[in-house]
């Protein structure tokens, strides 16, 4: 029996091998002309990345070895990595190459065909519908949500003042999750008060599942994935995540319909006499009731998409900027001086207008995002052959932009490893290639929430800087970068606080 089973397994593997080889044959001839490491049968270059998820250092090493255009195979998927602004513009700036690369499909069990993963007319229609949700007038209404949650974070890290270094990332993560839950769904999850909640844990675990499937070819086929322990982890996480979202959607929908039934007067807040602030979910429900063609399932997809996109990316940006401020004391002093010029000795909350006045802090954030881009890769699946710099990229391949390398291109950034916020002074930015700096992607599928993210980062950073001085135990320390769904430091971001 054992011998028969072994024969069946070998036969099955051979069948898969020849099927995949036939499938990728059209790609092989063109791919061979693109520089890159030699792939192995079935798994491609997967072993170059090892069994751990820490693949980013390998990507950077390979790009330094093979240049700003290179290819790798992960299973039967061909990835062509690029890091030159002219090449990036051809991809991100195109209105024809809008479909996302293959790893994004591993997000679909969670976020479905929301704005991040959808294509074609559905994406265009939803993008057009959602864009007004990020008008500055609507963003302005959420400043109190941001302030109230950041007050909690600032209070929680107070215990570390004048103590040894500590990792600030868990505090920022929970704060960002609280903010995104309240602004997107309209309900607080109080993650900062209950960091072990099922919802918080499910968000973290789903990110791990997605990354493992993306870089482990043996987990990519749905059949093999369903046989792995990760499938049960995903199933449990999805039940928690979708149940929460579905419950909130139905509750908010009932409230919305009741308010319409009662008339405009009932929408007024009795305490302050102003209209109730509409969360992102409320705006989707309103659009549905006003005749926009969007189902309850699609509403959940968009809510889950913004829950996924809206907290980890912001957390990464805040944490790496805090690290940069702690490392570069002169930059920190200048940022504090700007904040004092706005607030003086007042302890009042920051207003939307206050945040717009933080010009230097915005430069600091931009420079931190240049060196430590929160989204470590952007990918597009191409449906037609594309010629770039003499190479023909075959249809069916995945074009992958590596911002870490792009943002360090010496032709566009003098002394690229140096942290220098003055790079983003207006006079120093003039004439710079528009695609040499893409922390929020670029072109038609750029990040719809970048203004919200920048506002949240400014508010969080200024809240910390108004109360504490930041420093590092070792002034020469550099973060060890790892890419999960967002860029992180392997050991966290360890800071010292003083007052």
Domain assignment present for 25: no
pLDDT at residue 250 greater than cutoff 70:
yes
209 contacts 220 by C-beta, under 8 angstroms: no
pLDDT in tens, 12-26: 555 555 555 556 666
| Predicted local distance difference test score (pLDDT) of residue 74 | 86
Q: Is residue 21 part of a domain?
A: no
Q: So what's the pLDDT on residue 270?
A: 36
Give how many domains the chain has, as a whole number. 1
What pLDDT is recorded for position 274? 39
Q: Is residue 170 part of a domain?
A: yes
Query: 276: closest CA among 263, 267, 284?
Result: 267
Please check if 436 is assigned to a binding site.
no
| pLDDT for the residue 458 | 97
The whole-number pLDDT of residue 271 equals 37
- Residues contacting 143, CB < 8 A, separation 6+: 349, 350, 351, 352, 355, 455, 459
Range(s) of the domain holding residue 236: 43-104+117-498
Q: What is the mean pLDDT of residues 318-342?
A: 98
User: Could you tell me if residue 162 is inside a domain?
Assistant: yes
Residue 465 near residue 325, CB atoms below 8 Å: yes
Among 191-200, 207-216, 384-393, 397-406, the minimum mean pLDDT is found in: 191-200
What is d(CA 403, CA 437) in angstroms, rounded to the nearest whole number? 8
Does residue 112 fall inside a structural domain? no
Does 9 reside within a domain?
no
Show the tokens assigned to 483: 């890419």
How far is the C-alpha of 317 from the C-alpha of 263, rounded, in Å?
Answer: 42
| CB of 168 closer than 8 Å to CB of 127 | no
How remote is the C-alpha of 141 from its chain's centroid?
23
363, pLDDT greater than 70: yes
- Indicate whether 35 belongs to any domain: no
DSSP 338-363: HHHHHHTT--PPPPHHHHHT-HHHHH
Phi, psi of 76 (to 5 degrees): -95, 5
Dihedral pair phi/psi, residue 361, rounded to 5°: -60, -35
Which of 364, 366, 369, 371 lies closest to 337, judged by CA?
364
Residue 475 has pLDDT above 70, yes or no: yes
CB atoms within 10 A of CB 468: 18
The enclosing domain of 436 has a CATH number of 1.10.630.10
**Residue 166 and residue 430: Cα distance in Å, rounded?**
39
pLDDT by residue (tens digit) across 44-54?
888 887 655 56
On whether residue 268 sits in a domain, the answer given is yes
pLDDT band, very low/low/confident/very high, at 362 (cuts 50, 70, 90): very high
C-beta of residue 487 within 8 angstroms of C-beta of residue 344: no
């Amino acid at each position: 029996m054992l011998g028969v089973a072994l024969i069946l397994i070998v036969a099955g593997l051979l069948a898969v091998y020849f099927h995949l080889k036939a499938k990728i044959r059209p790609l092989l001839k063109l791919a061979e002309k693109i520089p890159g490491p030699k792939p192995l049968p079935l798994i491609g270059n997967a072993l170059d990345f090892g069994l751990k998820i820490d693949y980013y250092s390998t990507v950077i090493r390979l790009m330094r070895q093979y240049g700003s255009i290179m290819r790798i195979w992960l299973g039967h998927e061909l990835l062509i990595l690029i890091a030159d602004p002219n090449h990036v513009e051809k991809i991100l700036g195109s209105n024809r190459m809008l479909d996302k690369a293959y790893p994004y499909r591993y997000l679909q069990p969670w976020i479905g065909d929301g704005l991040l993963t959808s294509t074609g007319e559905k994406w265009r229609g939803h993008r057009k519908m959602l864009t007004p949700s990020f008008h500055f007038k609507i963003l302005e209404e959420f400043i109190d949500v941001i302030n109230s949650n950041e007050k909690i974070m600032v209070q929680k890290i107070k215990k570390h003042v004048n103590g040894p270094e500590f990792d600030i990332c868990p505090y920022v993560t929970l704060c960002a999750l609280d903010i995104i839950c309240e602004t997107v769904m309209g309900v607080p999850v109080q993650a900062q008060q209950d960091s072990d909640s099922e919802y918080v844990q499910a968000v973290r675990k789903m990110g791990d599942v997605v990354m493992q499937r993306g870089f482990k070819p043996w987990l990519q086929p749905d059949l093999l994935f369903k046989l792995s322990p990760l499938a049960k982890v995903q199933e449990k996480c999805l039940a928690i995540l979708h149940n929460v979202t579905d419950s909130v959607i139905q509750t908010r929908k009932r409230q919305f319909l009741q308010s319409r039934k009662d008339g405009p007067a009932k929408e007024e807040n009795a305490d302050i006499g102003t209209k109730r602030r509409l969360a992102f979910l409320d705006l989707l429900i309103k659009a549905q009731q006003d005749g926009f063609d969007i189902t309850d399932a699609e509403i959940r997809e968009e809510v889950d998409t913004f829950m996924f996109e809206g907290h980890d990316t912001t957390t990464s940006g805040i944490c790496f900027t805090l690290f940069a401020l702690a490392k570069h004391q002169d930059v920190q002093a200048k940022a504090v001086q700007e904040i004092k010029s706005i607030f003086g000795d007042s302890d009042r909350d920051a207003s939307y207008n206050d945040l717009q006045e933080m010009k230097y802090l915005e430069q600091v954030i931009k420079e931190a995002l240049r060196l430590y881009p929160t989204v470590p890769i952007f990918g597009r699946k191409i449906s037609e052959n594309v010629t770039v710099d003499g190479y023909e990229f075959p249809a069916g391949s995945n074009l992958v932009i590596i911002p870490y390398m792009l943002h360090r291109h010496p032709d566009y950034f003098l002394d690229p490893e140096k942290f220098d916020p003055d790079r983003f002074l207006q006079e120093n930015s003039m004439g710079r290639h528009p695609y040499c700096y893409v922390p929020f992607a670029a072109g038609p599928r750029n990040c719809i929430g970048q203004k919200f993210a920048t506002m949240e980062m400014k508010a969080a950073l200024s809240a910390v800087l108004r109360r504490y001085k930041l420093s590092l135990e070792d002034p020469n320390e550099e973060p060890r970068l790892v890419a999960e769904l967002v860029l992180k430091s392997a050991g966290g971001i360890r800071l010292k606080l003083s007052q």
